[in-house]
Structure 1
Amino acid sequence: MKLIVQIPAYNEEDSIQEVIKSIPKKLPGIKKIEILVIDDGSRDKTSESAKKAGADYVIRNTKNQGLAKTFQKGMNFALSKRADIIVNTDADNQYNQSEIPKLIKPIIDGKADIVSGNRQVESLNHMIPAKKYGNIIGSKVVKLSAGYPIIDASSGFRAYSREAALKLFVTSTHTYTHETLIQSAHKDLKVIEIPVEFKERRGNSKLISSVGSHVKKSMATIIRSTLMYNSFKFFTLLGAFLTLLGAVPMIRWLWLSYLDGHFGQHTQSLLLGLILLMFGGFSILIAFLADIIAINRRHLEEIMYLVKADRL
């Protein structure tokens, strides 16, 4: 089997060499190990440092495109090099690369399609509270959406089987971690977690300039991905809720009008009920339209999978 360890990097010339040199050279069940660095338009000498450290492949974005696009570019490149397993790790040296063997073992044994490293965020003392609790809340939302018992949905230390890499396609422009888990749940890919070490970062994060902005964009990605795969259920439930809610003032209007003996009064209840019923009907209509679009999306995803499998 062939393993490619991919490292998305942005302005990490000080740490990229240490990361590359700490990646194991031999692993049980793996015939060949290669290292891929995707430089996301760094302004420093990240690419040069990666080459000096012994990276087999260094590809570079001419301008900064963000983590999600850089991750997807790396996955496609690794697939084109016939990788059987792809491990994604960070360039800031916060993950312990000696844990790669236990990350890929469930895939080698055929027990998982994706193995995600659980950083045990709740027990980390070196992670700032805003980021820590943002991770915890985001993980709980992803857990509800994906149906996986995921504890750390934001971890970037993961192993992917070739089949998983072929089926996943990131649409977000911010981060891939949440979307890939939600996609996996709807593409019959088995995801498991294993505990991993997460070291304190030296210096400031190059990827996250503002924790608040990161949390906001991550939540937007989670909501968008959830709606992408659960739109029929969401809009049907919303429509049913609005319809039931609208029935209350309508029943009130009918009852009061019956007691008064005519239907010319209590128009506030009538208008409120009609508005809620109208929005409820629209939501149910949107649910069916979204379901039709989802069928088309599934066909396109199947075509994309077949094209990637043939070309990569």
Structure 2
Amino acid sequence: MKLIIQIPCLNEAETLPTTLAALPRRVAGVDVVEYLVIDDGSDDGTAQVARQWGVHHVVSHRRNRGLAAAFRSGVDRALAEGANIIVNTDGDGQYEGGDIEALVTPILHGQADIVIGDRGVSENAHFSPLKRLMQRVGSGVVQHLAGTQVSDAVSGFRAISRDAAQRINITTEFSYTTDMLIQAGRKRMAIATVPVRTHAAARPSRLFKSIPRFVMHTGITMARAFTAYKPLRAFVGTGSLIAFVGMVPILRFLWFWMQGDGSGHLQSLVLGGALLVLGTLVAIMGMVADLVAANRKLMEENLVRTRKLEDMLAAMQRDREPGRTSATAPRRKDAA
């Protein structure tokens, strides 16, 4: 049983050593613990610091590609390295490394596919009142879209089983957190939460430059996920609403027409007819999108089968390599 703890980083050379020092070297029920750093285009030597501290795997992006891309790169590398469980944490030391064992325990016991670290948003002293409000509202929306009970949907501190990682396909370019949960909920994966400890942020977030920007991007991600997984409800519902609104001016025209004054209200008939046509077209778009969604499910099933075949081939290749042994835990570098 191998656990790989991945850390997406952007200019974290200063805080990364502290984060690495706090990570567990051993976890009950796990045979091998390895670390993976994803350097997302840093210009402060983050990758070099990771190697100096004995990190087992380092993935480097030539330029900054964003948190979602860094997360995807990390998961792909972890799967290629044979990880049975993947834990994602931050490089700024926000999350308590000692809680990783609590994160992976439900997966080890077969109780969950994905485990989210709940930061206790409503009572967390490190969050401002506005951030607490936004977290509660956002988590409530994600719970509705995913059909799950996750009180801290945007927490990046999470554990993922190998099977879940193979079945999740992150499509957003902003943040993977909500996209992953909505996909997992729609794919009927078992999602659990465990309380985790947090520390005060060492620096402002590099994920978003302002609260309105964060709200906008998160809203777009949720809307895309909703239309992708519930196209009939999204488009047919919208089309029906437009058509219903279109009936109002048509009924108005008919009322005046029965009163003998229809010629003076043709604009109501034109407007209502246009809205009816628009509503019908939107509903048809929903039917087409539903067919596309069905085709996407088939493609995702084929992708999972392909990934499992690649796992089998990689395992066979590793077995053929003479003298191959599991990597040991990274060294703890003493302070100068």
Indicate the residue corresponding to 2:185 in structure 1: 185
- The runs of at least 4 consecutive aligned structure 1 residues that moved more than 6 Å come to none
Indicate the SS of the match to 2:13. Answer: coil
Q: Tell me, in whole angstroms, the C-alpha distance in 2 between the residues paired with 1:149 and 1:3.
A: 26
Q: By how many angstroms is 1:129 displaced?
A: 4.4
TM value normalised by structure 1: 0.95
Q: Tell me, in whole angstroms, the C-alpha distance in 1 between the residues paired with 2:132 and 2:60.
A: 31
Structure 2, unaligned runs of 5 or more: 312-336
Indicate the residue corresponding to 1:77 in structure 2: 77
Indicate the SS of the match to 1:155. Answer: coil
Q: How many residues align?
A: 311
Indicate the residue corresponding to 1:21 in structure 2: 21
Indicate the SS of the match to 1:87. Answer: strand
AA aligned to 1:283 is V
Q: Tell me, in whole angstroms, the C-alpha distance in 2 between the residues paired with 1:35 and 1:210.
A: 31
Contact residue 39 and residue 58 of structure 1 kept, 8 A: yes
Contact residue 226 and residue 234 of structure 2 kept, 8 A: no
Indicate the residue corresponding to 1:272 in structure 2: 271
Indicate the residue corresponding to 1:66 in structure 2: 66
Q: Tell me, in whole angstroms, the C-alpha distance in 1 between the residues paired with 2:16 and 2:112.
A: 29
Contact residue 232 and residue 287 of structure 1 kept, 8 A: yes
Once the two structures are superposed, what CA deviation does each residue of 1:108-137 show, in whole Å capped at 9, x if it has no partner? 111110000111222223324444433332
Indicate the residue corresponding to 1:212 in structure 2: 212
Once the two structures are superposed, what CA deviation does each residue of 1:256-305 show, in whole Å capped at 9, x if it has no partner? 21122x64232232122212211110111111111111122112111211
Structure 1 segment 1-312 matched on structure 2, within 5 A: 1-260=1-260, 263-312=262-311
Indicate the SS of the match to 2:38. Answer: strand
Q: Tell me, in whole angstroms, the C-alpha distance in 2 between the residues paired with 1:240 and 1:220.
A: 22
Percent identity, aligned pairs only, is 37
Q: Tell me, in whole angstroms, the C-alpha distance in 1 between the residues paired with 2:132 and 2:15.
A: 23
Q: Tell me, in whole angstroms, the C-alpha distance in 1 between the residues paired with 2:207 and 2:263.
A: 62
Contact residue 10 and residue 207 of structure 1 kept, 8 A: no
Q: Tell me, in whole angstroms, the C-alpha distance in 2 between the residues paired with 1:136 and 1:112.
A: 23
Contact residue 139 and residue 154 of structure 2 kept, 8 A: yes
Once the two structures are superposed, what CA deviation does each residue of 1:124-163 show, in whole Å capped at 9, x if it has no partner? 2332444443333222221121111221111000000011
Could you tell which deviates more after superposition, 63-72 or 270-279? 270-279
Structure 1, unaligned runs of 5 or more: none
AA aligned to 1:244 is F
TM value normalised by structure 2: 0.88
Could you tell which deviates more after superposition, 202-211 or 301-310? 202-211
Indicate the SS of the match to 1:13. Answer: coil
* RMSD between aligned residues: 1.6
Q: Tell me, in whole angstroms, the C-alpha distance in 2 between the residues paired with 1:311 and 1:128.
A: 46
